[in-house]
């Protein structure tokens, strides 16, 4: 039976990518070798790394604008500390919009003062704070564009002269933005880009080299840039699959095209959440995420029936995170409209039955 994968991450990737990646496990580029056994220094892999780095910049519209793309390891969680290691001299400003921002703040505090410009913690992060100001004397401002757990998404970003750092782990390559307003973007691959195991970092080179502390080589963005993202053995297979996914996205028409699909999918799910009296959205309406829709059942007694119904329909990964409860429909780039239709049908079927 066909599965409809609504998992929050690792999550669905394009089927075409799985087909090509599985072929390359057996015989990569007709070399008679598996992608899993070739040297990361071989021309075949160096080409993959370069294509992945170039595609990331191209799709974000950042080519020729002083940015470099890196594929690092350690997940987005490693970037929480690498960002501070490389950029935090005295103090930094952070917007606290959820568990992941909270964790980023905790790491940054090891390196300097952290000013929390605003937080929605008191409301279990159900909205994005607004109306705050970013101090002018900080080394950088850090925010999380999409809050995977709570289903909120930043629709606008503060105008500031300080460098802007953004964790885009769960909405990178999903919507159009002027990415040149950010100085450093990072994202774990395992949502819209590829399998777990690599993290994309896109950094404007001129913000680096300004802190006085010594930085260990593996933590130093400048060293990774100097080595073409090959300072040590990169995550060969995750980088390869990310490259295939970025190629897939480019062929589909890039972010502009996928954004239209993502808008349609999100509209369908949220319309059902709003029109169906059995469900209630978790996130504030104006801050709703296009990637992760969080909602609960108004009547907990229906949980067993609903859970049985969606599982029977082939839906997987719909359970909400423990800190929100209820349900979370993650609608990443590769999720089809048909899968979203299946979920909405099950939700309306529950209304008819109840």
Q: Which long-range contacts (CB under 8 A, 24 or more apart) does 108-116 make?
A: 108/80, 108/81, 108/83, 108/84, 108/142, 110/81, 110/84, 111/81, 111/84, 111/85, 111/213, 112/84, 112/88, 112/139, 115/91
The reply to whether 176 sits in an annotated binding site is no
Which residue shows structure tokens 């950010």? 182
CB of 29 to ligand PMP, least distance (A): 29
Whichever of 133 and 323 has its CB closer to ligand PMP, that residue is: 323
CA distance 334 to 343: 16
Catalytic residue, from 100, 204, 265, 310: name it. Answer: 100
User: Nearest approach, Cβ of 140 to ligand PMP (angstroms)?
Assistant: 17
75 part of the interface to ligand PMP, by CB under 6 A: yes
- Residue 325, both tokens: 């409860």
Is residue 273 close enough to count as binding ligand PMP by CB under 6 A?
Answer: no
Residue 320 binds to ligand PMP (criterion: CB under 6 A)? no
73, 77, 336, 348: which one binds ligand PMP (CB under 6 A): 77
144 interacts with ligand PMP by CB under 6 A: yes
Residue 7 contacts ligand PMP per CB under 6 A: no
The minimum distance between CB 167 and ligand PMP, in angstroms, equals 5
Q: For residues 225 and 70, is the Cβ–Cβ distance under 8 A?
A: yes
How many whole angstroms separate alpha carbon 272 and alpha carbon 113? Answer: 44
Q: Which one of residues 100, 125, 221, 332 is an interface residue with ligand PMP (CB under 6 A)?
A: 100
Q: Which is nearer to ligand PMP, 42 or 77 (CB)?
A: 77
CA torsion 181-186-192-195 (nearest 10°) is 160
Q: Which of 148, 152, 242, 333 binds ligand PMP (CB under 6 A)?
A: 148
Q: Do the annotations mark residue 100 as ligand-binding?
A: yes
Task: Report the phi/psi class of residue 25: left, alpha or beta, with left for phi > 0 and alpha for psi in -120 to 50.
Answer: alpha
Burial class (CB within 10 angstroms; exposed 0-12, middle 13-18, buried 19+) of 310 = buried
Q: Of 29 and 77, which has the nearer Cβ to ligand PMP? A: 77
Nearest residue (CB) to ligand PMP, 179 versus 306: 179
Site string for ligand PMP, 157-196 (x = CB under 6 A): ----------x-xx-----------------x--------
CA-to-CA separations, 38 to 71, 147, 236, 247, 279, in angstroms, rounded: 18, 37, 9, 21, 51
Binder of ligand PMP out of 4, 5, 6, 9 (CB under 6 A): 9
Nearer to ligand PMP, 221 or 306 (CB): 221
Specify the 3-state DSSP secondary structure of 22: helix
- Applying CB under 6 A, the site for ligand PMP has a residue count of 11
- Residues 203 and 211: beta-carbon distance below 8 Å: no
Active site residue 167: yes
Closest approach of ligand PMP to the CB of residue 185, in Å = 12
Q: Measured from the CB of residue 284, what is the shortest distance to ligand PMP in angstroms? A: 18
CB of 149 to ligand PMP, least distance (A): 7
Shortest CB 173 distance to ligand PMP, Å: 14
Residue 73 or 276 having the CB closest to ligand PMP: 73
**Segment lying near ligand PMP (by CB under 6 A), choices 21-29, 71-79, 126-134, 151-159:** 71-79
41 carries a ligand binding annotation: yes
Give yes or no: 310 in active site: no
Beta bridge partners, 141, equal 93, 164
Cβ burial 25-64 (10 Å sphere, 16+ → b, else e): eeebeeeebebeebebeeebbeebbebbbebbbebbebee
Question: Active-site residue numbers?
Answer: 100, 167, 191
Binding residues for ligand PMP, per CB under 6 A? 9, 75-77, 100, 144, 148, 167, 169-170, 188
């Amino acid at each position: 039976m066909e599965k409809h994968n609504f998992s929050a991450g690792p999550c669905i990737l394009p089927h075409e990518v799985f087909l090509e990646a599985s072929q390359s496990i057996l015989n990569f580029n007709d070399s008679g070798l598996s992608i899993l056994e070739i040297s990361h220094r071989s021309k075949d892999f160096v080409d993959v790394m370069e294509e992945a780095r170039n595609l990331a910049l191209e799709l974000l519209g950042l080519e020729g604008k002083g940015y470099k793309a890196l594929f690092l390891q350690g997940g987005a969680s490693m970037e929480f500390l690498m960002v501070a290691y490389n950029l935090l001299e005295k103090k930094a400003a952070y917007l606290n919009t959820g568990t992941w921002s909270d964790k980023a703040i905790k790491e940054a505090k090891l390196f300097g003062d952290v000013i929390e410009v605003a937080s929605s913690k008191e409301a279990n992060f159900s909205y994005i704070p607004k109306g705050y100001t970013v101090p002018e004397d900080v080394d950088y401002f850090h925010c999380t564009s999409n809050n995977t757990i709570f289903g909120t998404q930043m629709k606008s970003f503060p105008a500031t002269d300080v460098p802007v750092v953004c964790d885009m782990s769960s909405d990178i390559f999903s919507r159009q933005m002027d990415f040149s307003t950010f100085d450093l973007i990072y994202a774990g691959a395992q949502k819209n880009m590829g399998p777990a195991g690599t993290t994309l970092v896109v950094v404007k080179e001129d913000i680096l080299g300004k802190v006085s502390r010594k930085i260990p080589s593996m933590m130093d963005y400048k060293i990774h840039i100097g080595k073409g993202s090959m300072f040590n053995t990169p995550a060969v297979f995750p980088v390869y699959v990310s490259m295939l996914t970025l190629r897939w996205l480019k062929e589909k028409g890039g972010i502009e095209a996928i954004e239209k699909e993502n808008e349609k999918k999100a509209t369908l799910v949220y319309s059902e959440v709003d029109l169906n009296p059995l469900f209630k959205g978790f996130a504030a309406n104006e801050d709703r995420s296009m990637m992760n829709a969080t909602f609960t059942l108004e009547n907990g007694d229906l949980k067993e029936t609903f859970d049985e119904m969606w599982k029977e329909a082939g839906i997987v990964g719909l359970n909400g995170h423990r800190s929100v409860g209820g349900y979370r429909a993650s609608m990443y780039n590769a999720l089809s409209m048909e899968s979203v239709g299946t979920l909405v049908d099950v939700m309306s079927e529950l209304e008819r039955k109840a």
